[in-house]
Structure 1
Amino acid sequence: MEGIQPLFDRKMECIYCQHKSSVKNIRSRFIKVSSYDTDFCPQYSAESENALLYNIHVCPNCGFSYSADFSPYFPPSTRESIEDKICANWVPHDFGGERTIYEAIKTYKLASYCAVLKKEKHITIAGIYLRLAWLFRLSEDSAQEIRFMKLARQEYMNSYSTDDFKGTQVSEVKLLYLAGELSRRISDLPSAVRYFSMVIERQKQTTEPKIVEMAKERWQEIREDKKSQSAELIGS
């Protein structure tokens, strides 16, 4: 591996304006995940190996920002909206080089705005918000982390109610687990218990037993916390 750098240039063509540019990506052999948080946030061995930083492509020509999860289809009137609200106000900026966490946060915020204007699926928007929460967790900004966890949870709930997650890499069980775990992390425990229970109810139908086990663990943690709090109140 001597002489091979973790980052390499990848050619991209903007799905909005077809402008060609190059962006940095991390070679898969350099990506080393040491662990995952309970909401699937990956913990990388080094910040320089953080693949999250490079998920979003920002077109330097028009400003349209998107991930690989975006559909190439633009619903009626969305192009006009993007032109008016994104492109017309775009100050040329190149995010194609090496990124810091703070630069990556800017790209995700741009992508979330573009996704809303483009009327992307709720499941796609949820994924962007969730990753924003992860980046704010890494930067130790708990207020913004909670803000984007709330936004992500709402989009996951919208996705579940509209079934727009079907046909994507996010299964029903994983979606419900994430809705539950995000509810737990923002201290909405009744909703967390409800979503975890929905995951557990599907344990005989799912092909993802690990997620069911995780739901059981989170549910048990909530139960134990409630017992501890009750004991403290009685003791006081």
Structure 2
Amino acid sequence: MRKLDFPHLYDKNTTCTLCRAHFTTKKLRSSFICIDYSDSDFYSHYRSETNNPLLYYVTVCPECGYSFSEEFSDQMSPSSRRRLTDHVSKRWTKRNFSVQRSMDMAVSSYKLALYCAELKLEKHASKAGLNHRLAWLYRSAGDHEQEHRFLDQSLNEYILSYMNEDYEGSKLTDMRILYLIGELSRRTGKEKQAIRYFSRIIEHQHRSPEKGIIEMAKDRWQEMRAEKALSAQ
């Protein structure tokens, strides 16, 4: 296909951490990203699902199958390299993901990246982000069962990340990860846990400059109280 066939995409040059192959992966041009509104767990609804940047979040090496996101570490231990080689590369049938991706192709790329993340022993924060974004993709497709499944997996990884403090150096902050744990707990029916984490944010609100996150936590806490009051009537 000619580049003009997909003006919303561009080629990004990259190098595979596992096999050192050089290749290009498709990314979405920012000028084509139009957001209608956002959900309370930060998912953005786009005017065109074709122009959804989540479709291109994961990079897949066409040569060996190693799949990763920008949050993955560039470091790879010898044991991780052996596991990835044995369980991914040696079983890989060459496939090109550097095209305009369908929903099915994007979902496949996330599941490959999650498998690679487990084999590589990536940080819990990275795995939480992958699971969360995959849940968003299923939300956009209206698949609530799979959305709930990956929200739950993301929640577990966020909790482990918070406990191990492996989110330091990432885009996550103390308040943001507390909020995400609270919000994903709420969305997966763990109300007591959600209240506990939202309360932590509110208790420490004067120590944080992240006023937007604090207000969102207060809103969710109030919504839950209102819902509980209605159900008690």
Normalising to structure 1: TM-score of the pair? 0.94
Query: Residue 23 of structure 1 contacts residue 95 of structure 1 at CA under 8 Å; is this kept in 2?
Result: yes
For these two proteins, the number of residue pairs brought into alignment is: 230
User: What do you get for the CA RMSD once the two structures are aligned?
Assistant: 1.4
The residue number in structure 2 matching 1:54 is: 56
The amino acid of 1:45's aligned partner reads R
Question: 2: distance between equivalents of 1:6 and 1:111?
Answer: 24
| Residue 24 (structure 1) aligned to one of 15, 23, 26 | 26
The residue number in structure 2 matching 1:130 is: 132
The residue number in structure 2 matching 1:34 is: 36
Query: Residue 53 of structure 1 contacts residue 100 of structure 1 at CA under 8 Å; is this kept in 2?
Result: yes
Residue ranges of structure 2 left out of the alignment (5+ in a row)? none
SS in 1 for 2:172: coil
1:224 equivalent in alignment to 2:226? yes
Query: Residue 121 of structure 1 contacts residue 159 of structure 1 at CA under 8 Å; is this kept in 2?
Result: yes
The residue number in structure 2 matching 1:109 is: 111
| Residue 157 (structure 1) aligned to one of 156, 159, 166 | 159
The residue number in structure 2 matching 1:89 is: 91
Question: 1: distance between equivalents of 2:6 and 2:93?
Answer: 34
The residue number in structure 2 matching 1:215 is: 217
SS in 2 for 1:187: coil
Query: Residue 68 of structure 2 contacts residue 116 of structure 2 at CA under 8 Å; is this kept in 1?
Result: yes
Question: 1: distance between equivalents of 2:148 and 2:5?
Answer: 41
The amino acid of 1:51's aligned partner reads P
Query: Residue 8 of structure 1 contacts residue 25 of structure 1 at CA under 8 Å; is this kept in 2?
Result: yes
Question: 2: distance between equivalents of 1:146 and 1:4?
Answer: 32
Instruction: Indicate the percent of aligned positions where both proteins have the same amino acid.
Output: 41
Question: 1: distance between equivalents of 2:159 and 2:12?
Answer: 34
Question: 2: distance between equivalents of 1:134 and 1:3?
Answer: 27
Change (3 A) 1:26 1:188: same
Residues 144-193 of structure 1: per-residue CA shift (max 9 Å, x gap): 11110110000000001001111211001000100010000011100000
The amino acid of 1:135's aligned partner reads L
The amino acid of 1:15's aligned partner reads T
In the TM superposition, what is the alpha-carbon distance from 1:202 to its structure 2 partner? 2.0
Question: 2: distance between equivalents of 1:162 and 1:124?
Answer: 13
| Residue 200 (structure 2) aligned to one of 198, 201, 225 | 198
Question: 2: distance between equivalents of 1:146 and 1:225?
Answer: 20
The amino acid of 2:21's aligned partner reads H
Query: Residue 151 of structure 2 contacts residue 184 of structure 2 at CA under 8 Å; is this kept in 1?
Result: yes
SS in 2 for 1:8: strand
Query: Residue 173 of structure 1 contacts residue 202 of structure 1 at CA under 8 Å; is this kept in 2?
Result: no
In the TM superposition, what is the alpha-carbon distance from 1:119 to its structure 2 partner? 0.7
Question: 2: distance between equivalents of 1:3 and 1:130?
Answer: 31
Question: 1: distance between equivalents of 2:169 and 2:140?
Answer: 31
Spell out structure 1 runs of 4+ moving beyond 6 A.
Answer: none
Residues 184-207 of structure 1: per-residue CA shift (max 9 Å, x gap): 001110000001111112211112
Question: 1: distance between equivalents of 2:6 and 2:141?
Answer: 29
Query: Residue 6 of structure 2 contacts residue 100 of structure 2 at CA under 8 Å; is this kept in 1?
Result: no
The residue number in structure 1 matching 2:172 is: 170
Residues 76-115 of structure 1: per-residue CA shift (max 9 Å, x gap): 4111111111111111111110011221111011001101
In the TM superposition, what is the alpha-carbon distance from 1:14 to its structure 2 partner? 0.9
Normalising to structure 2: TM-score of the pair? 0.96
SS in 1 for 2:219: helix
Query: Residue 14 of structure 2 contacts residue 24 of structure 2 at CA under 8 Å; is this kept in 1?
Result: yes
The residue number in structure 1 matching 2:7 is: 5
